[in-house]
Structure 1
Amino acid sequence: MVFAPDTEVALRTVVNLINTAANGREGLATLEDLDAFLAAEGFSGGRRRDNAELESVLELRRELAAVWTADEDAAVDTVNRLLRDANALPQLMKHDGWDWHLHATAPDAPLADRMSTEAAMALADVIRGKEMDRMRTCESEDCDAAVLDLSRNRSKRYCDTGNCANRAHVAAYRARQAAAN
């Protein structure tokens, strides 16, 4: 394991959030889409369930997408600002079947503040561990999705949003077969 379990979960949520806008599609167009996303990610806490909340999550997605491909200094600037803006105060919490882990906002804080703080805390671990190279973009020519490589040998090249890896492997196989004939 590279990171603590709660950090890995937060990083996967960041990837999934970024990828709601991958390849020119909009996966968070409605409040229902946001509800489904949060349910799939197991995100708990209070909600306003209004368009302003959706817009704040969409803005967070844009910021996190920029961090995903940023250099270390730019990533640090964004992480620090996200923590500052949410008035983050790290505390150990235990809830919803999770053992002790860090939260830096109250459960009733605005959704975007809670999401940005969890993302920022996870990204801080990535930066401190000098592991930013695990944050990538899919290597498929027709895909711009975020990729989180948690493999031991740092070999993950394709996203989980579609069949990018399968298509690349099939194309390579067909190229080998054509070259052999």
Structure 2
Amino acid sequence: MHINPYGEDPVRLALDLINDPPGSASELGRRCAAAGLVIDVPPGAADLAETNRFLAAWLGVVDAPDETARAERLNALLAQAAAYPRLTNHAADGWHLHYRDPDRPLAAALRALISVGTALHLSGRGMHRLGRCAAAGCERPFADLSRTGRQRYCSPACANRDAVRRHRNRTAADHG
């Protein structure tokens, strides 16, 4: 099975922006450009505010109680980002598919990119492939990019901490 990487990169960008929010519009623009996004219109304060509102709504997709609710929430975001798919070579780096209108503000481009990317990620890998970290005290969202589809933690550090905690609890119970 070939997995479309167009879904993975936008989902990673969303998580990066949520887990380490940019402090300014210029930082938002730099981080988006570093992630490979071609920015048609320089970002302003409205882009930062709108992106933060969108990402809060996107977390509703992560936190959906079941697949049907997840699809409904994502479909609502997709409806707000509606644009017909188009082929473009706007950056002279080869023809590729865009799911956004040209010359849109950065917030609008991010809404379209992340919404479509999330839909591709979930439909291509599985509707369960977004979640919150299972480690005690950590609620960071993550995208399950594993081969097995059984990721439970946001990072190896959280997985290791939780494994150590479980081991210590077992050891204490065996000696108690």
Instruction: State TM-score, norm by structure 2.
Output: 0.79
In structure 2, what is the Cα distance between the partners aligned to 1:69 and 1:174? Answer: 30
- Residues 77 and 10 (structure 1 numbering): CA distance in 2 closer, same or farther, change over 3 Å? same
Length, aligned pairs only:
174
Counterpart pick for 1:53 among 47, 54, 67: 47
Q: Counterpart amino acid of 1:123?
A: T
- Residues 144 and 155 (structure 1 numbering): CA distance in 2 closer, same or farther, change over 3 Å? same
In structure 1, what is the Cα distance between the partners aligned to 2:140 and 2:2? Answer: 22
In the alignment, structure 2 segments of 5+ residues that lack a partner are none
State the Cα deviation string for residues 131-158 of structure 1 (Å, max 9, x = none): 1211111001111111111212123211
- Residues 176 and 79 (structure 1 numbering): CA distance in 2 closer, same or farther, change over 3 Å? closer
In structure 1, what is the Cα distance between the partners aligned to 2:32 and 2:149? Answer: 28
Counterpart pick for 2:78 among 72, 75, 83: 83
Identity in percent: 33
- Residues 112 and 31 (structure 1 numbering): CA distance in 2 closer, same or farther, change over 3 Å? closer
Counterpart pick for 1:119 among 108, 114, 126: 114
CA RMSD of aligned residues (A): 2.9
Q: Counterpart amino acid of 1:14?
A: A
Match of 1:110 in 2: 105
Give the SS at the match of 1:133. Answer: coil
- Residues 100 and 8 (structure 1 numbering): CA distance in 2 closer, same or farther, change over 3 Å? farther
**1:36 Cα offset (Å):** 4.2
In structure 2, what is the Cα distance between the partners aligned to 1:174 and 1:97? Answer: 56
Q: Counterpart amino acid of 1:56?
A: E
- Residues 93 and 165 (structure 1 numbering): CA distance in 2 closer, same or farther, change over 3 Å? farther
In structure 2, what is the Cα distance between the partners aligned to 1:109 and 1:118? Answer: 12
Counterpart pick for 2:149 among 150, 154, 159: 154
Instruction: State TM-score, norm by structure 1.
Output: 0.77
Q: Is the 8 A contact 1:76 1:127 kept in 2?
A: no
Match of 2:3 in 1: 3
